[in-house]
Amino acid sequence: MFQRKLSALNHPSPDKINLKDTQEFRSLVLWLEDQKIRHYKIEDREGLRQIKNNDWQKYFDKYLKDLACPIPINKSMECFEWLLSFAVRLEYSDNVDKYNSVTTEVKKQAVPTVISSNPLDKLDFQSEEFIKGVNSLAKLLNVTPHANHLITLRAVSKVISTRLNAQVLQNPSLILVKGVPIPLEEANLGFTTGDYVYNQAAKILRLLYIQDLRKLQTRINETIVAVQTITANPKTDTKLGKVGR
């Protein structure tokens, strides 16, 4: 992370810095102030220049306070990372137009031009011809058209995938409704909305909900049977058995 930020700041040798070396660490702090941050006047940087002085840490602590560094000063590495980030922000703010143009060029180069061979990708889903096609298909499948043709298309897709798939075409009995149909008028809603139309709609929603619950229960039962088949009839390898000691 340090190397990338130093490279972004055009440091002459970002990959050769040893931050564990006290002299290199102090020299790098001075370089950041001299070349990038420039918070102090030149004459006020004298304390930071004395990298061999035992009091250098005192000047560095004051420098961090003057920059309003939010990191506790006893955490030198974290403070230095913040200092690098602060220098990068300053560098960017001084050359916003330059870096924005470079970023734009990189994005343009990074995104390849993909030419799709799928004819569906070339369709105009809002064209009048497409809308007429969807409505014609819905009429053919007895699907009530919606004001939004894309919702109609979704309903058509559901009908085709559930009732006209290869498995159903080979065995139509899979989707044939068995039992005695119940007229909607005879369905018990359990409450009333005070409006006939709303009552009918509520009955339909209730019946659909019950249907979903039955499907869920069927899947649960199938799962239980499958698990019981495995646990109730374990396979035994008699070759592993032995008699006596």
Residue range 40-84, pLDDT digits in tens: 888 888 988 988 888 888 998 898 888 888 888 788 888 888 888
Would you place residue 216 in the very low, low, confident or very high pLDDT band (cuts 50, 70, 90)?
very high
* pLDDT value at residue 244: 52
Question: 154 with 185, same domain?
Answer: no
Question: 104 with 161, same domain?
Answer: no
Question: 15 with 56, same domain?
Answer: yes
Would you place residue 223 in the very low, low, confident or very high pLDDT band (cuts 50, 70, 90)?
very high
Task: Determine the structural domain holding residue 195 and report its residue range.
Answer: 178-232
The helix (run of H) or strand (run of E) holding residue 119 is none
Question: 30 with 101, same domain?
Answer: yes
Q: Quote the number of domains for the chain.
A: 3
Q: Quick check: 167 pLDDT over 80?
A: yes
pTM for the predicted model, two decimal places: 0.40
Alpha helices (runs of H) in the chain, residue ranges in sequence order: 2-8, 22-32, 46-49, 56-66, 76-94, 96-110, 128-140, 149-163, 166-170, 196-232
